[in-house]
Structure 1
Amino acid sequence: MKQSERIGAKIACIFSHNHRYIENALESYKLKGPMFAFLLTLSHKDGCSQESLARYLKFSKATATRVITALEKEGYVYREKDENDRRIYRVFISDKGMGVVPAINAALQEWNDILLSDLSDDEEQIFRKLLDKTKNTLEEYDRNSSN
């Protein structure tokens, strides 16, 4: 088997560990799956539409609706209809939601520290550059695929 054939499995392994670590770290806040990503995004893009939030985070509209409903149930966000277009819901982070953002950032920083702990500073820089390059390649692929 070629080295390149195992890249997806390695990425999946890292993703799985990331998911488990973040969920365990945020368990007391009842944040599951992508809920933390929605809160982080709303902490600096407050009041965006559900659709634009889904698009920005690369989730389906249905997934975004489920996540936002769960966050709303926990009191982390609230929705309001857009004043100019009543078909659009704007999503806002509540004070309770803003209060959990530092814990999310701390958990993500701890995860990064664990993930990068065995890399030298130079290796970390190279790793980050390669991840950015790969991410950009995939974004370009998505843009070309949707045309």
Structure 2
Amino acid sequence: MKDTVDCDIRQSLDRISSQMRRNYSESLRELNLYVGQDNLLSRLWSGDGVTQMQLCEHLKCEPPTVTNMVKTLEQNGFIHRKRDEQDARVVRIFLTDKGRELEEPVGIKWRQQQEKLLNSITAEDRLLLKQLLKQMENNLL
């Protein structure tokens, strides 16, 4: 019985994750963004002028992934790269005005996605869910 329950939980988590990603991806496309680019921008909203390596560490992504995201975001006018004034070998990433303007609409998308996911779940159950998910995350680490 335990194996069946464990398998059901894993399958439910897979389905939830896949559907959330699809829904969220469609939502971000309205802002000319792809999933993941919002997290990169979020890091910059908390303080730009970081290096691509710092973005890799923050996003827990490989350098080529971040390079592609930076390139696309720059082509779309959301960020720009600039050589460091003290060390010309270092390139720093900065938000443009257009990139700064995305903070509120992306935040709205995040909240809408979460509310859709948690619709009709009580505050008490949300707290329990949060605790359980945190424990699951810790188990994997």
Match of 2:35 among 12, 33, 36: 33
Of 36, 51, 54 in structure 1, the residue corresponding to residue 53 of structure 2 is 51
1:103 maps onto 2:115 in alignment: no
- Cα distance in 2 for partners of 1:120, 1:57 equals 31
Stretch deviating more after TM superposition (4-13 or 101-110)? 4-13
Counterpart for residue 145 of structure 1: none
Q: C-alpha offsets along residues 61-103 of structure 1, whole Å, 9 cap, x if unaligned?
A: 1100000100000000111122333332211111101111111
TM-score (norm 2): 0.88
SS at match of 2:23: helix
1:126 is displaced (CA, Å) by: 0.7
1:68 and 2:85 are equivalent in the alignment? no
Closer/same/farther in 2, CA of residues 71 and 136 from structure 1, 3 Å limit: same
Query: Is the 2:52–2:92 Cα contact (8 Å) retained in structure 1?
Result: yes
* Equivalent residue for 2:79, pick from 58, 77, 80: 77
Q: State the Cα distance separating 1:57 from its structure 2 match.
A: 1.1
Deviates more, 1:7-16 or 1:98-107: 7-16
Q: TM-score, normalised by structure 1?
A: 0.84
Q: Give the AA of the match of 2:113.
A: W
Which blocks of at least 5 consecutive residues in structure 1 are unaligned? 142-147
- Distance in 1 (CA, whole Å) between partners of 2:4 and 2:88 is 54
Question: Secondary structure at the residue paired with 1:29?
Answer: coil
2:91 match: 89
Deviates more, 1:34-43 or 1:71-80: 34-43
Aligned residues: 139
Structure 1 residue ranges (4+ consecutive) displaced by more than 4 angstroms after TM superposition: none
